[in-house]
Amino acid sequence: MTESTVTKKRSFWRIRLEPRLDEPSTLLSLSVTLGAVVVALILGGVVIAAVGGNPFVSYAYIAKASFGDTGVLSDTIVKATPIILTALACSIAFRMKLWNIGAEGQFIMGAWGASAIVLTHMLPDESSRWVFIPVMALAGMSTGAAWGFIPGYLKAKFNVNEIISSLMLNYIAVSWVNFWIFGVWSEGGFQMSPKFPVGASLPRLSEYAKEFPIFRGLTTHGGLIFGFVAAIILWFIVYRSRWGYEIRLIGDNPQAAKYAGVSIVKNIILVMMLSGALAGLGGMSEVAGVVRRLQTSPINAGYGFTGIIVAWLAKLNPLVIILVSILFGALILAGREIQPAGIPKMIQGIILVCLIASDFLLRYRVRVVRGEEA
Amino acid sequence: MDPIIILQAGVATGTVLLFATLGEVLAERSGVLNLGVEGMMLIGAMTAFSVTISTGNPWIGVLAAMLAAGLISQIHAFISITLQADQVVSGLALTLVGTGISLVLGEGLSKAGTVSLMPNFSIPLLSAIPILGPIFFTNHSVLVYIGYLFTPLAWYYINRTRPGLHLRAVGEYPSAADALGINVFRMRYLYVFIGGMLAGLAGATLSLAVSPGWFSELTTGGQGWIAVGLVIFAQWDPVRAAIGSYAFGALRRLILDIQGPLLLFGFDNPFYYNSYLGFFLQMIPYAFTVIVLVIGSREAFRKRLGAPAALGEPYIRGERGK
């Protein structure tokens, strides 16, 4: 039995993965996320270089064209406003592991619902903002919530996959709004509705330029306040309310939630409706704040999909969403003028890929160990 | 509005969905849900068109499309199989990346003009069969005929061959498959790759046969997502996938054709006179997908059929209860 002593032991380095048993620290989580974004920007740069562009010029341009002076910064915030609301919409659904991919459609339906109040003259055109804005916001939230209710109900009652049903409803919403824009509400055959009366628009900073000269020409509008208020309310719902606890419980452990007597069916429908209402409010803020009429170009710009990435990047935290939305607003604003036109979309996609991949580092501890094997 | 022409065109249109759906069936049977079909199809459509322009040979275009989409699918494979991330988010990310990359690389392709397409021909003898001949065997692209072969082939492969048995084992009970010496990880990578190649083929079928050209995101217009929905309706069975795909193809075609004639059933055609009513017709395929999902989900519940048991679950070696 001397064989074992004869065999030569080889030692080598290898990577060992150990599952993390504790929650990763905030610092680690933050640095991994930032690292993922940096890697994504490098990868995006490689693709830009591959198609003959200069990534440094592109990125420098994005930074300058979105944060360069107060004017563009204000435009960046205008782009961020709808993203805040769609990202909040996605975050509350994702919290429950409900994959609402339909924020885009709910956003569009919200824009339609708010416009319907104005364009069907439900309120007299000369009504003040104090009348118009709350009614329009409620209308936008209701149509958005109705659009979220459909996949929620189908999921709760028939176990229909909400990813596909909510996505299909996006396409239906686009056709539905096109019908109104091209047909019923078309202004002189153009693909837009008539302009809303002043009362039906959200105030812009530039309107206060007389009192505060610094606001001259700034387009940031009241929708931002909706975003802030919604984020704060949502933060309280998720982290400080009983309902939020139920939602988080269902998301983390549906079995435990069921045994604890939490109604999953009811919560699926409610959360989808809340999600739809937030996205719908975003649509209302976009038509009333930016274009002040119903037209296709800003309302189907893909804010619903950007919201998915922002929600994920912010780790579903409503307050962090505001910050991340501003960065993505910058990307979208500057991206409009970058050629080829697909670059912002591609970078968004690559960021999401890197983020999901980086989650691995939060779940596992990667160790390089010296192993020995006979 | 000749029903035979609509059905004939529907078979061609349905072939796109068929390839994408069959690919997703294979990937999901191995336990990997891939929501990136839309993105992979766009990559395929763009690559096929672009490569055909530069080489002049559509066959090379199709092969390149399959390879490109297969390669991009490996992003999802790596993230969801090796890094064990959530398959839903990873698939979504793949769709975004695929869409973005195809837009960047496809810049300018929409103005590139015409390319040589995949050849069309009729099958002798079979095309002489009344009704079925004109619908299935007359003046179709070669890709449509390839589609006919794929369905029985996929069914036979999954249900009657040893590798097909391994595929099902990996999707239903990966730890048992692992114990039998089947490499679960390698199998899943492989079927995600095959699914990607088929999605690429679906994209190539669009840009080189059914609706030639590159129209950025509108090239696919959500067909990748419809394919994901069809898999549920098909209950992971290739034959049902084929039926669903062709039915959807015919529906899409009918919607296009219904706007043409002046008279519909003897009345003034409302869709001809009010073109914006056409937007309601455009909703139909998507609304129909939702209806089909409801039917599929209820049926699955009643018959206690279901998705592959391990669908969406990352396989972690040595974890209990998996």
Q: Mean pLDDT, to the nearest integer, of B248-267? A: 80
Whole-number pLDDT of residue A2? 43
* Model confidence pLDDT, tens digit, residues B271-299: 777 778 888 988 998 999 899 889 888 87
For A369, phi then psi, to 5°, come to: -120, 160
Query: Cβ distance A168 to B286 under 8 Å?
Result: yes
Query: Cβ distance A333 to A73 under 8 Å?
Result: no
Q: Do A171 and B222 touch (CB under 8 A)?
A: yes
Q: Determine which of B38-42, B148-152, B189-193, B266-270 has the lowest per-residue pLDDT on average.
A: B266-270
Going by C-beta distance under 8 Å and a sequence separation of 6 or more, which residues neighbour residue B318? Answer: none
What's the CATH code, domain B3-302?
1.10.3470
CA nearest A307: which of A107, A75, A67, A42? A107
Amino acid at A103: A
pLDDT band at B40 (very low <50, low <70, confident <90, very high): very high
Instruction: From residue A331, give the alpha-carbon distance in Å to each of A326, A328, A352.
Output: 9, 5, 14
A–B CB contacts, 8 A cutoff, strictly below: 150
What's the CATH code, domain A81-324?
1.10.3470
Q: Does B316 reach chain A within 8 Å, measured CB to CB?
A: no
Query: A339 to chain B: which residues are within 8 Å by CB?
Result: 107
For A293, phi then psi, to 5°, come to: -165, 170
Q: Which of A101, A172, A340 sits opposite B92 (nearest CB)?
A: A101
CA nearest B281: which of B270, B292, B294, B296? B270
Query: Cβ distance B51 to B76 under 8 Å?
Result: no
Amino acid at B11: V
Whole-number pLDDT of residue A1? 41
Alpha helices in chain A (DSSP H): 3-6, 26-50, 55-67, 70-95, 103-119, 129-158, 162-178, 223-240, 242-252, 254-259, 264-286, 296-299, 303-313, 318-335, 343-363
Q: Does B291 reach chain A within 8 Å, measured CB to CB?
A: no
Residue A358: other Cβ atoms inside 10 A: 21
CA distance A89 to A276: 7
Helix or strand run (H / E) with residue B317:
none
Chain B residues 104-133 within an 8 A CB cutoff of chain A: 104-108
Q: Does B271 reach chain A within 8 Å, measured CB to CB?
A: no
pLDDT band at B86 (very low <50, low <70, confident <90, very high): confident
Instruction: From residue A141, give the alpha-carbon distance in Å to each of A177, A279, B166, B173.
Output: 16, 8, 49, 44
Whole-number pLDDT of residue B304? 66
Give the relative orientation of helices A55-67 and A70-95 as an angle to the nearest 10 degrees.
100
Chain A: residue whose CA lies nearest to B290: A165
* C-alpha dihedral sign at B272, B275, B277, B282: positive
CA nearest A219: which of A279, A146, A286? A286
Q: Do A175 and B280 touch (CB under 8 A)?
A: yes
Q: Do B84 and A360 touch (CB under 8 A)?
A: yes
Query: B226 to chain A: which residues are within 8 Å by CB?
Result: 168
Whole-number pLDDT of residue B233? 84
Q: Mean pLDDT, to the nearest integer, of B43-55? A: 94
Name the more confident of A341 and B313. B313
Q: Do B96 and A161 touch (CB under 8 A)?
A: no
Whole-number pLDDT of residue A3? 45
Best to test chain B binding among A109, A153, A164 (most B CBs inside 10 Å): A164
Q: Does B89 reach chain A within 8 Å, measured CB to CB?
A: yes
CA distance B293 to B297: 6
* Model confidence pLDDT, tens digit, residues A293-325: 998 877 777 899 899 989 988 989 999 999 999
Q: Do B88 and A163 touch (CB under 8 A)?
A: yes
Beta-bridge partner residues of B162: none
Query: B108 to chain A: which residues are within 8 Å by CB?
Result: 340
CA distance B289 to B95: 19
Chain B: residue whose CA lies nearest to A357: B79
**DSSP string for residues in B148-209:** HHHHHHHHHHHHHSHHHHHHHHHHH-HHHHHHTT--HHHHHHHHHHHHHHHHHHHHHHIIII
User: A262: alpha, beta or left, given left = phi > 0 and alpha = psi -120 to 50?
Assistant: beta
Q: Do A160 and B84 touch (CB under 8 A)?
A: no
Helix or strand run (H / E) with residue B138:
none
User: B140: alpha, beta or left, given left = phi > 0 and alpha = psi -120 to 50?
Assistant: beta
Cα of B144 vs its chain's centroid, Å: 13
Whole-number pLDDT of residue A4? 46
Cα of A350 vs its chain's centroid, Å: 16
Q: What is the pTM of this model?
A: 0.89
CA distance B140 to B117: 12
Amino acid at B138: T
Helix or strand run (H / E) with residue A241:
none
Kindly report the length of chain A.
374
Chain A: residue whose CA lies nearest to B281: A175
Query: B86 to chain A: which residues are within 8 Å by CB?
Result: 356
CA distance B214 to B115: 11
Min Cα distance A301 → chain B (Å) is 13
Q: Which of B83, B89, B104 sits opposite A343 (nearest CB)?
A: B104
CA distance A343 to A280: 27
Min Cα distance B318 → chain A (Å) is 13
Residue B16: other Cβ atoms inside 10 A: 33
Q: Does B222 reach chain A within 8 Å, measured CB to CB?
A: yes
Q: What is the DSSP letter of A23?
A: P
Min Cα distance B263 → chain A (Å) is 21
Min Cα distance A44 → chain B (Å) is 10
Query: A163 to chain B: which residues are within 8 Å by CB?
Result: 35, 88, 228
Name the more confident of A160 and A336. A160
Q: What is the CA radius of gyration of chain A?
A: 24
Query: B294 to chain A: which residues are within 8 Å by CB?
Result: 154, 158, 160
CA distance A319 to A330: 18
**Tokens 């048991």 sit on residue:** B309
Task: Looking at mean pLDDT, say which of A4-13, A18-27, A188-197, A340-349 comes out highest.
Answer: A188-197
Percent of chain A with pLDDT over 90: 50
CA distance A185 to B185: 55
**DSSP string for residues in A149-188:** HHHHHHHHHH---HHHHHHHHHHHHHHHHHIIIIIIT-ST
Instruction: Kindly provide the ipTM of the predicted complex, given to two decimals.
Output: 0.87
Q: Do A349 and B101 touch (CB under 8 A)?
A: yes
Q: Does B224 reach chain A within 8 Å, measured CB to CB?
A: no
Whole-number pLDDT of residue A371? 64
Query: B276 to chain A: which residues are within 8 Å by CB?
Result: 178-179, 182-183
* Model confidence pLDDT, tens digit, residues A230-287: 999 999 999 999 999 999 999 999 999 999 999 999 999 999 999 999 999 999 999 9
Domain ranges of chain B: 3-302
Class of residue A321 by CB neighbours under 10 A (exposed 0-12, middle 13-18, buried 19+): buried
Class of residue B32 by CB neighbours under 10 A (exposed 0-12, middle 13-18, buried 19+): buried
Q: Which two tokens stand for residue A148?
A: 């979220």
Q: Mean pLDDT, to the nearest integer, of A222-226? A: 94
For A366, phi then psi, to 5°, come to: -95, 120
Q: Does B249 reach chain A within 8 Å, measured CB to CB?
A: no
Domain ranges of chain A: 81-324
Q: Do A168 and B286 touch (CB under 8 A)?
A: yes
**DSSP string for residues in B228-268:** HHHHHHTTT-HHHHHHHHHHHHHHHHHHHHTTS-SEETTEE
Q: Which two tokens stand for residue B273?
A: 């006179």
Min Cα distance A160 → chain B (Å) is 6
Whole-number pLDDT of residue B254? 87
Query: A179 to chain B: which residues are within 8 Å by CB?
Result: 276-277, 279-280
